A = this chain, B = another copy of it.
Amino acid sequence: MRADARRNRERILKAARAVFGEQGIEAQIDDVAKRAKVGVGTVYRHYPTKEALRDALVRERFEEIAGYAEEALRRDDAWEGFCELIWRAAERNAADRAFCEVVAFTDQSSIVEETGLAGSTALLMERAKALGKLRADATPVDIPIMMAGAGSVMRAHASPAVWRRYLTIMLDGLRAP
């Protein structure tokens, strides 16, 4: 890919992050283009539909979170790693309106699978169960569920205190009795 194309692609992604983050999935491609100081056509050249752009953003974020999961796996206490993963992911997502909307309303399990997040989380949870700290019946699907829930709580209630409270309860619910 040519240097200028890569530069533009970056600009578009950056602009998209901002615009989607502020306005949610309803954000307009024209606004993204304007923000990126690029013609609409350029946006469409890189991402052939609005959905493609949105998915790129979502995937990017899940890749980042997959990175957190890798780090969490390196911790001694898998349960603590698990909790930290959840908290870090949530902190990261809190300001991103579109991401919250997407995970809250659509099943993103294929992306979760592809980014390796599913795998790492499964491993992490198994270990946490082995430690007797995670409830035995917890499953990897609980993660998307929590994220969906957290996403909507974040969208519906401005205050971080509210979603933090939500996560606290949720994690307590997941702790082994």
Contact = CB atoms under 8 A, between A and B. Distances in A.
Interface of A: 101, 103-107, 135, 138, 141-142, 144-145, 148-153, 155-158, 162, 165-166, 168-174, 177
How many copies of this chain?
4
Contacts of A158: 107
Contacts of A150: 149
Max chain B C-beta neighbours (<10 A), residue from A104, A156, A162, A173: A156
The A interface is mostly helix, strand or loop, or mixed, namely helix
A165 B142 CA distance: 8
Given A148-B152, A149-B149, A149-B150, 17 more contacts: A103-B156, A104-B152, A105-B155, A107-B157, A107-B158, A135-B172, A141-B162, A141-B165, A144-B156, A145-B157, A145-B165, A148-B149, A148-B153, A149-B152, A149-B166, A169-B170, A172-B173
A152 B172 CA distance: 20
Contact of A105 (B103, B142, B152): B152
Contacts of A168: 173
Contacts of A107: 156-158
A158 to B, nearest CB: 8
Contact of A153 (B101, B149, B165, B169): B149
Contacts of A144: 156-157
A101 B149 CA distance: 12
